[in-house]
Structure 1
C-alpha cells in the first residue's frame, strides 16, 4: 500500500483560494485540514511567509495551520544550497520571499527520510507551475531530482475528493 505526502507550493494555495474561497467552499479546505492533521500535507515556512504578505482569508487560514508549515532543517539548508548552485535562477531577486527552492528542498529531504513503514510513502510536490521546456521552475527542477510534481486538482483526484 502506498500513501502520499504532498509538499505544497504557495501557487496552489493562492489559486485554490482564488477559485474556491474558504468562505464559499469550506469542505475543500476541511479536506486540506484533514491531510494536514495526518501529516500528509506539508509546506516549508517560506510558503507561509509568501501567503501572509497578503492580508486575506488565505493568510488568516494559513496562520492557524501550525502543523502544516515545516521550519527549515540543517539538511534542507544544505539541499537548498545545492539546488541554488545548480539552478541560481530559481530565486527571483525582486521578491521578498521565494519559497520555490524551499519546496523542493523539503521534498528532497523527505525523499531521503529513512523512516521505515509497512507502506511505501510517495512524496509529491503540488504546484500550479507547469513544465515549459528548459524553464527553471518547480516542475523542471523536480524532474531533475526525480520528484513527482502535480497540480492541486490532480491531488484532489488522487485523494478521490469530489465536491
Structure 2
C-alpha cells in the first residue's frame, strides 16, 4: 500500500495534475483507494483543511481516504522519537517534527503497516534544520518514493481527453 504525503496532493493540485487539466489523476486516486493501493492519514487531511480550496473540498468529500492513527502506529512513536533525538537536528527542527508535523505520523504509520511512503521530499542526512521524511524512512526501514514512481509502479495510465467541440 502507498501512503501519500500532503505535498504529493498539494503539488498535484497546484501544478501538473490540477483538477481542471488532469482529472484522471484524481480518478486514479479514487480507484487506488478502492483497490487498497493508496491511502493517507488524518493528520495529512488536517493539513489540507488549513486551506479553503479545491483540494480541501476534495479531502472533505474523500474522508475514508484518510486513515486514523491507530495503536499499531503509536507503538512506533518511541523508536522514531529516539532516532530523531539522536541526530544533530536543531531544537526547532525536533519540535516541529515531534509535535506539529504530519510527517512524524506518516513515518510511524508507514513503519507500522509496512506501507511505502510517497513524498516529494529528497533525503538530506546532513540537514539539521528540518527532519526530512526520506531520512526518517531510512532510519525506520520504510520504503519511500515520489508520485511518478508510484504511478509507474502501479502501471497507472492517465488518459488524455480532447476538449468538447465548441
TM-score of the superposition, structure 1-length normalised? 0.81
Correspondence for 2:112: 109
Moved beyond 6 Å, runs of 4+: none
1: CA distance, partners of 2:80 / 2:44: 17
Correspondence for 2:37: 40
- Given that residues 127 and 152 in structure 1 are in contact (C-alpha distance below 8 angstroms), is that contact kept between their aligned partners in structure 2? yes
Aligned residues: 146
- Given that residues 11 and 128 in structure 1 are in contact (C-alpha distance below 8 angstroms), is that contact kept between their aligned partners in structure 2? yes
Task: Give ranges in structure 1 of 5+ residues lacking alignment.
Answer: 112-122
Cα distance per residue 1:96-127 (max 9 Å; x no partner) = 9411011111111112xxxxxxxxxxx31100
Correspondence for 2:162: none
Out of 140, 144, 157, the residue aligned to residue 162 of structure 1 is 157
- Please state whether the residue corresponding to 1:59 is helix, strand or coil: helix
Residue 53 (1) aligns with residue 57 (2): no
Correspondence for 1:148: 143
- Given that residues 50 and 97 in structure 1 are in contact (C-alpha distance below 8 angstroms), is that contact kept between their aligned partners in structure 2? no
Task: Give ranges in structure 2 of 5+ residues lacking alignment.
Answer: 86-92, 159-166
Correspondence for 1:86: 83
1: CA distance, partners of 2:18 / 2:154: 20
Out of 14, 22, 29, the residue aligned to residue 18 of structure 1 is 14
Cα distance per residue 1:19-72 (max 9 Å; x no partner) = 121122111110011001122211110000011101111111111112211111
RMSD: 1.8
- Please state whether the residue corresponding to 2:126 is helix, strand or coil: coil
Residue 99 (1) aligns with residue 94 (2): no
Higher RCO, Cα 8 Å, sep 6+? 1
Residue 131 (1) aligns with residue 142 (2): no
